[in-house]
A and B are shown apart, each in its own frame.
Chain A
Amino acid sequence: MKLLHQNHQLHQDLVLPSYPSRSRLFCIKPIGIGTQLTESLIGFTTRLSEAHCLPSGVLMEREVAPTIAKIHGGGNLHKIYDHTAALNGTGVMALSLASALEKLSGQINLHLLTLAPWSELMPSRRLLRRNRAWCSFCYETWRITEHIIYEPLLWSLDAVKVCPLHHCLLCETCSHCHQKNLPLAWHSRPGYCSKCHDWLGLQPGNSVNNLKNCTEDELRELAWITNSVGDLLASTPSLPLSFTKEILAQAFRVHVNLASNGNVAEFARQLQLPRNTVWLWCNGKNLPQLDTLVQVCYRLDRSLIEFITQEPKQSIHVNVTNATTPLKSKPKAKARVFNMENLEQQLEAILLNHQCPPPPLAEVARQLEINEKTLFRLFAEMCRAISAKYDKFQKALYYQRIEQSREEVRQAVIKLYNEGLYPSEERVSQLVSRPGYLRYKQVRAAIEETKLEFSIQRIDSSTI
């Protein structure tokens, strides 16, 4: 009876149920999505590698690179060091890293950690910093409050100069080793220098106000810009899908209408910008760089997000007085005018001058204070002649040296022979003035030739 009672569980299968495959990497949550301090994708990567106790480079190379499977760069840090900033950016590098990490960690929507959602609005020129930047006050605060140490996306933007919380300049140089960090390096770790591995947070007694050179106006402007860009990043998750270039052009047109009754030239004049530039913006033919756009917004006293999405209620005017820096700081370089005849004569003189050794073209260009490429473009024939002359001389010099070396080798072999030593390559090399030349076949052959001449044989060496 007991048997029957237990019958339904007499046996138990030992076969494990099949379950969905587990993610290869930990499913770490990104920090601050939807806030000004949204985490950056690079910061997320470094946090992920720290959790796995791996250097970021190893994680990228072993796990991410095969997932991205690209021949050029992809996840291989050594190939993309110069461009690692782009991993936070608007392009395909950011997107492919995001999707690779999504696949590996099971986390979703990692593209929100990059600027990719804003790719229609932000041209990549001067968008991201080349070096890693950080606020040491933030790091220190997080460490003390045991908050997770991470890198906000905001810090990696070139337009952002100050920390939105502490209103101090972002640092780019480690206070310990005085070096700059790449945005993503082999040994990147959140909160620590990737070069000397020291803590980047504020050290006690190091609390110098790095903004004391700034006026109050400048400070206000920097803070305003940071805030405005931060708000834009905070709105990333709620971004309308249909966000296109046209919206920006539309926004410009609306503002031109309200500020100067649709007079683009007048609007441009008020902004102290070239009229054509503004016209191209209004027509959606060109996009302003993020730093320029945010400067324009500052002059209009409209935050970036307001500028793009909300139509202004009343008339607005451009306020240049509150801006501390001019919009266009660098004037266009003027085309240089060359005195062609003079140049030609100088080149001729150099060609005819039997100066020894003849100078290479680069040297000539330096003497004439003109770019080598420009010089070549203007006087291709003469440049070739100068180069040929230089080459010819160098070649002759080379043969001369080889011949010299052969003679030296010969002398060395004879000397060794007279001393009763076997003329090994090593002994010879110690006696000649240019031992490196023994790498050339002809020079090395001189040893054998001389040996033959004196019929020195290997057997001799054993007796010595």
Chain B
Amino acid sequence: MTDECDFPRELLSLSPDQRLEFFKNPGKTIMHRNLKKAYDYLYRIVRNPAGASLIMVIGPSGVGKTTLLALLEKKILEASLAQMKLDPAWYPIIRLQAPANSRGFRWKPFYKKIALAVDEPCIENKITYDEDCFRRNKDGKLIIATRATEDSLYLAAQNICLHRKPYTLAVDEFEHIGIAASNEEIEAHMHCAKAFINDSNVPWTTFGTYEMLEFLEINDQLSQRDRVIHFPRYLLECDGDVAEFKRVVEQLLRRMPLQRTPRLTDKLFELCYLGSIGKIGALINWLTNAYDLCLSEEAKTLTFTHLEETIKPEFELEKMLKEAEEGEEKLMKTKEKRKAFRTRLGLDKAKKTTSDPSDNTPPQNAEKSEVSKNELKEDKSSKKKKSQPFKRSPKRDAVGDKPA
């Protein structure tokens, strides 16, 4: 298998830049198991939200969330082509990135981005017919504010959602809402988001890192109608993950336009895992750098040296791992956590409780991807538990309490 390569042979005679470009942007993405699972689940919820108004895709940075969003957008567009011909004003999905601002999250640029995403005319001239736009000068003459205010953009963005009727408003980098914000501010932001969703009647699909878990912790009101999709990295503890990660590494190596495709030894695999801590997006970025180095040296194949040269320093890897583990810790569901929780509720002796309807989804989901290992199944169900108000996992309490 390693002899096969996944690139057009003629690339070898082209310039290094072109070869690198091919590796960077082959125009397709490797479909790996965690991505596929999150993708299938997400697509199903977006097409049929069943009461969910805020879908949160949470995963560590570099795991492939933006790729997931791109896939979602593509699939929704493909499925909507026929209807789009009939309804020329309909946007099946509105996609944007939450704006970042060093002084904290701002809603005005956010609304502006919604407007830009659908090519809305005259964004700078938006008005509301509210008092903030109309005032009278000292002679009683009516003055109309011509500049778009936050209120007018709010209204305009909402009208866009009402009239364009997308399945969802997909917001990438949603953790930006938490930039430089106190708990109160985050709560206020979440209320704003909720008000917008309620008024416009379009569910949001948000993509972000584990930082988004904080939003859920702060605002339990929001948890009523949210749906969390965990998009995890690959873990060494489970065999399925190892095999899948190996497959992806192999595939990536085969795609490098090189004289000789590197063989995936156990040693190489370990290094790859170490340098990416099991995140495919991070792996691809790193391999791109390594491949670039390899090309600049005009080497025949990718060697350990190339990888070692371009690997991130340990302290960075450690930080990445710490963040990922903390997030996983919160989202993973274990039997112990459940048991402790049941004790708290006083259900200790009771048999299996009547589960809420949303509990029906995880088994179906698990069915689809039989390969998934126990703890992956577990974390599917865990997010259902998380979304219950007043249900705080004891384990998480311990984490939060200690620093306090």
Q: Which parts of A187-229 form the interface with B (CB within 8 Å)?
A: 187, 189, 192, 196-197
Q: Is the CB of B127 within 8 A of A24?
A: no
Q: Is the CB of B89 within 8 A of A53?
A: no
Q: How far does the Cβ of A45 sit from chain B's closest Cβ, in whole Å?
A: 14
Q: Which of B71, B73, B129 has the most CB of A within 10 A?
A: B129
Q: Is the CB of B28 within 8 A of A53?
A: no
Q: How far does the Cβ of B74 sit from chain A's closest Cβ, in whole Å?
A: 5
A3 on the B face (CB < 8 A):
yes
A92 on the B face (CB < 8 A):
no
Q: Is the CB of B122 within 8 A of A63?
A: yes
Q: Is the CB of A10 within 8 A of B71?
A: no
B116 on the A face (CB < 8 A):
no
Q: Is the CB of B71 within 8 A of A3?
A: no
The residue from A3, A17, A27, A189 contacting B87, defined by CB atoms under 8 A apart: A27
Q: Which parts of B80-120 form the interface with A (CB within 8 Å)?
A: 80-81, 84-85, 87-91, 118-120
Chain B residues, CB < 8 A from A6: 31
B8 on the A face (CB < 8 A):
no
Chain B residues, CB < 8 A from A2: 243, 247, 371
Digit string of B126-157 for contact with A (CB within 8 Å is 1, else 0)? 11110000100000001010000000100110
For chain B, the bracket of interface size reads: 35 or more
Q: Is the CB of B159 within 8 A of A51?
A: yes
A28 on the B face (CB < 8 A):
yes
B77 on the A face (CB < 8 A):
yes
B400 on the A face (CB < 8 A):
no
Q: How far does the Cβ of A88 sit from chain B's closest Cβ, in whole Å?
A: 23
Chain B residues, CB < 8 A from A62: 121-122, 125
Minimum CB distance partner of B125 in chain A: A58
Chain A residues, CB < 8 A from B159: 26, 51-53
B373 on the A face (CB < 8 A):
no
On whether A58 and B74 interact (CB within 8 A), knowing A2-B243, A106-B89, A187-B144, the answer reads no
Chain A residues, CB < 8 A from B73: 16
Digit string of B145-189 for contact with A (CB within 8 Å is 1, else 0)? 000000010011001000110000000000000000000000000
A182 on the B face (CB < 8 A):
no
Q: Is the CB of B89 within 8 A of A22?
A: yes
The residue from A27, A59, A63 contacting B89, defined by CB atoms under 8 A apart: A27
A105 on the B face (CB < 8 A):
yes
On whether A22 and B85 interact (CB within 8 A), knowing A12-B71, A55-B125, the answer reads no
Chain B residues, CB < 8 A from A14: 27-29, 67, 70-71, 74
Q: How far does the Cβ of A347 sit from chain B's closest Cβ, in whole Å?
A: 49
Q: Is the CB of A51 within 8 A of B163?
A: yes
Q: Which parts of B210-269 form the interface with A (CB within 8 Å)?
A: 243, 247, 251
Q: Is the CB of A28 within 8 A of B29?
A: no
The residue from B74, B119, B122 contacting A59, defined by CB atoms under 8 A apart: B122
Minimum CB distance partner of A187 in chain B: B144
Minimum CB distance partner of A192 in chain B: B129
Q: Which parts of B315-369 form the interface with A (CB within 8 Å)?
A: none
User: A455 to B294, alpha carbons, bound, how many Å?
Assistant: 86
Chain A residues, CB < 8 A from B91: 22
Q: Is the CB of A53 within 8 A of B31?
A: no
Q: How far does the Cβ of B154 sit from chain A's closest Cβ, in whole Å?
A: 9
The residue from B71, B84, B121 contacting A19, defined by CB atoms under 8 A apart: B84
A238 on the B face (CB < 8 A):
no
Q: Is the CB of A16 within 8 A of B74?
A: yes
Digit string of B3-41 for contact with A (CB within 8 Å is 1, else 0)? 000000000000000000000000111110000100000
Chain A residues, CB < 8 A from B163: 26-28, 51
Digit string of A1-13 for contact with B (CB within 8 Å is 1, else 0)? 0110010011111
User: A105 to B90, alpha carbons, bound, how many Å?
Assistant: 11
Q: Is the CB of A23 within 8 A of B89?
A: yes
B270 on the A face (CB < 8 A):
no
A247 on the B face (CB < 8 A):
no
Q: Which parts of A47-64 form the interface with B (CB within 8 Å)?
A: 50-55, 58-59, 62-63
User: A26 to B78, alpha carbons, bound, how many Å?
Assistant: 22
Chain A residues, CB < 8 A from B119: 22, 24
Q: How far does the Cβ of A210 sit from chain B's closest Cβ, in whole Å?
A: 27
Q: How far does the Cβ of A168 sit from chain B's closest Cβ, in whole Å?
A: 26
Minimum CB distance partner of B81 in chain A: A19
A452 on the B face (CB < 8 A):
no
Minimum CB distance partner of B151 in chain A: A53
A15 on the B face (CB < 8 A):
yes
Minimum CB distance partner of B250 in chain A: A3
Q: Is the CB of B89 within 8 A of A105?
A: yes
On whether A10 and B251 interact (CB within 8 A), knowing A51-B159, A52-B156, A53-B126, the answer reads yes
Q: Is the CB of A12 within 8 A of B31?
A: yes
Q: Which parts of A35-50 form the interface with B (CB within 8 Å)?
A: 50
Q: Is the CB of A106 within 8 A of B88?
A: yes
Q: Which parts of B47-72 form the interface with A (CB within 8 Å)?
A: 67, 70-71
Q: Which parts of A94-116 form the interface with B (CB within 8 Å)?
A: 105-106
A331 on the B face (CB < 8 A):
no
A240 on the B face (CB < 8 A):
no
Chain B residues, CB < 8 A from A11: 28-31
Chain B residues, CB < 8 A from A59: 121-122
Binding site for A on B (CB under 8 A): 27-31, 36, 67, 70-71, 73-74, 77-78, 80-81, 84-85, 87-91, 118-122, 125-129, 134, 142, 144, 152, 155-156, 159, 163-164, 243, 247, 251, 371
30 chain-A/chain-B pairs, Cβ below 8 angstroms: A6-B31, A10-B31, A10-B251, A12-B30, A14-B27, A14-B28, A14-B29, A14-B71, A16-B74, A17-B81, A19-B84, A20-B85, A22-B88, A22-B89, A22-B91, A24-B119, A27-B89, A52-B120, A52-B159, A53-B152, A53-B155, A53-B156, A53-B159, A55-B125, A58-B122, A62-B122, A106-B87, A187-B144, A192-B129, A196-B142
| 7 closest residue pairs by CB, A with B | A106-B88, A27-B89, A26-B163, A53-B156, A53-B126, A23-B88, A23-B89
